[in-house]
Chain A
């Protein structure tokens, strides 16, 4: 089959590799019809995530048709399914209490030893996201082996297009959980840093959950425009003092909840951010949480911080004092995708959530390297890239 594989920093290629087959009883094999490039794939592309090996197949946002099933799968050949990026067994302590992204059993035992020293506990298995998360071959390919296929995949109802449901695999539930973690109540102002796909879904979700106003912060005009379409007020940080603006837009109180949808690649011209990028270049591995720092400073006393953005290491100059003295709550984590898929599928079907507005480019799988390049270098116009293995080149 053809698959997008990692060859080094800023070097991904579409190669011919062996087709996957059923290995464990609960497996299914999916023929991919649509798969997206995620902002977090750019961390792999930039080479800042360790334990990515040459030849690893990337991609964790995918859907397609079931072409083979193991004896323990509940899927049937021919069904169309969307596959969550988190691999979850459904039977461990965490899965039973719906903490699906904390599954004990999805990361192979020998791979768990990679993250246990880093974090105190091993992380769970994810598709196409380095050997830290299991080294599972990813979804930017013609076929994918899906473990625990009786737990994760959600069957697509008749008549729904790929583009309407594809983002149930990650960014829609991630944006939704980010808004849920903000614990929004009537009258609240919610500030969202980053108008990438997760930020845009967080804006939309916060509106649905009844926020009085949502303020989105970015510097790409096109992305800010998409946030405005979703009902947000916007701040362009390249022309406005964000903290002052947020105070003035909330009657001198500050946002009740803040969402950092940027993660470790935050841009910014403040001295602390420049220092972080210097440290990253010299290999000290410090994450660059400029957006998070600002979000903590902006948040009102007793407010909530929601952090869907991805971090993998340590942060310098984290404003711990502001966190404590203002009595803030911080909630974060990889998304418990399977907790949200059914409810969100219904909301898409009923037209409550718009999932297609952010797709800027649809490319054949063969053009995936071009997709990566532009998604990174031309963020204003390339807002979301969907790859279609079946599309003519």
Chain B
């Protein structure tokens, strides 16, 4: 496996195109009504031609309406955390901290330049992933990739940049993985497709809570339930 997925993420948005009909706003309103009168198929073809000439916008590739990642499922989310960049980087760089805010990660143990992740999967399954850090730029970026002995083929990257005017740090995490074959693969793929990005977003919110407030909000009234 080559470390190409995130380049794809950028390439995707250069080549971004989709099939949504042009929004009939302002001066285009009359044309929009005309399109509706043309009817489904013709209008779609017309819209499709319009899309061909559309220049890329500024949005991250993963927010495109059509995925260009092939067999890799890619998800990513950003969160702004009211803490200095170096502090958040240092917290994340100690991978054993990840289990404190990633709901499904049971533990991460570091051994030399490898980290062994134990991840809870649906229906009582557990997934073992061994990752190697492939990029480490202090205060800016950490990227990791799974090794051959892992249950799933995955790579991830987290980037840190200053938010404007002292508003803290923007943390952007992107995870890509290729579902394994077999039943586990089907379960994971289904889970992933049903709610793309859901878990990443949840986990980043929990990271924000932990770093900003020292604890993760819960409505539990007791420790036993």
Can you list 21 A-B pairs, Cβ within 8 angstroms, ordered by A? A18-B222, A20-B222, A21-B221, A23-B222, A24-B218, A26-B213, A72-B214, A89-B212, A91-B82, A92-B212, A92-B213, A96-B82, A108-B218, A109-B205, A109-B206, A109-B209, A109-B216, A109-B217, A111-B219, A134-B219, A148-B213
A85-107 CB contacts (< 8 Å) to partner B: 89-93, 96, 104-107
Q: How far is the CA of A20 from the CA of B225 in the complex (A)?
A: 11
A33 within 8 A of B: no
Task: Report chain A residues within 8 Å CB of B218.
Answer: 23-24, 108
* Cα–Cα, bound, A160→B113 (Å): 63
Chain A, interface size category, equals 20 to 34
Are A25 and B219 in contact (CB-based, < 8 A)? no
Proximity string of chain A (122-136) to chain B, C-beta cutoff 8 Å, 1 when within and 0 when not: 000100000000111
| Option from B208, B212, B219 in Cβ contact (under 8 Å) with A108 | B219
> Closest CB of chain B to A211's CB: distance in Å?
37
Cβ contact within 8 Å between B223 and A105: no
Contact residues in B for A109 (Cβ distance below 8 Å): 202-203, 205-206, 209, 216-217
Q: Which residues of A contact B206 (CB under 8 A)?
A: 109
Q: Are B217 and A91 in contact (CB under 8 A)?
A: no
In the complex, which residues of chain A have a beta carbon less than 8 angstroms from the beta carbon of B217?
24, 89, 105-109, 125, 134, 147
Q: Are A20 and B215 in contact (CB under 8 A)?
A: no
Known: A109-B205, A113-B198. A93 touches B221 (CB 8 A): no
* CB–CB B214/A136 < 8 A: no
| Closest B residue to A111 using CB positions | B219
CB distance from A2 to the nearest CB of B (A): 14
Decide yes or no: A105 and B209 within 8 Å by CB, A25-B214, A147-B217 being known contacts. Answer: yes
- State in angstroms the CA–CA spacing of A19 and B208 once bound together: 30
- Specify the chain B residue showing the minimal Cβ separation from A87: B217
The answer to whether A289 has its CB under 8 Å from any CB of chain B is: no
Q: How far is A25 from B221 in the complex, measured between Cα atoms in Å?
A: 13
Which B161-203 residues have C-beta < 8 A from chain A? 167-168, 198, 202-203
Task: Known A96-B82, A113-B198; judge A89-B221 contact (CB<8 A).
Answer: no
19 further contact pairs, Cβ within 8 A, besides A26-B214, A91-B213: A18-B222, A20-B221, A21-B221, A23-B221, A23-B222, A26-B215, A89-B209, A104-B208, A105-B209, A106-B217, A107-B217, A109-B203, A109-B205, A109-B206, A112-B205, A113-B202, A134-B219, A135-B219, A137-B221
Is B220 in the interface zone, CB < 8 Å from A? yes
Tell whether A161 is near chain B: CB-to-CB under 8 Å: no
Task: Report A333 CB to chain B, min CB distance, Å.
Answer: 21
Q: Which of A302-358 contact B (CB under 8 A)?
A: none
B residues near A104, Cβ cutoff 8 Å: 208, 212
- Interface of chain B residues 77 through 102 with chain A (CB within 8 A): 80, 82
Residue pair B219, A136 in contact (C-beta under 8 Å): yes
Within the complex, the shortest CB–CB distance from B102 to chain A, in Å, comes to 11
Asked whether, in the complex, the Cβ of B208 is within 8 Å of the Cβ of A93, the reply is: no
- List of A residues within 8 angstroms of B208 by Cβ: 92, 104-105
Q: Whole-angstrom distance between the alpha carbons of A104 and B222 in the complex?
A: 23
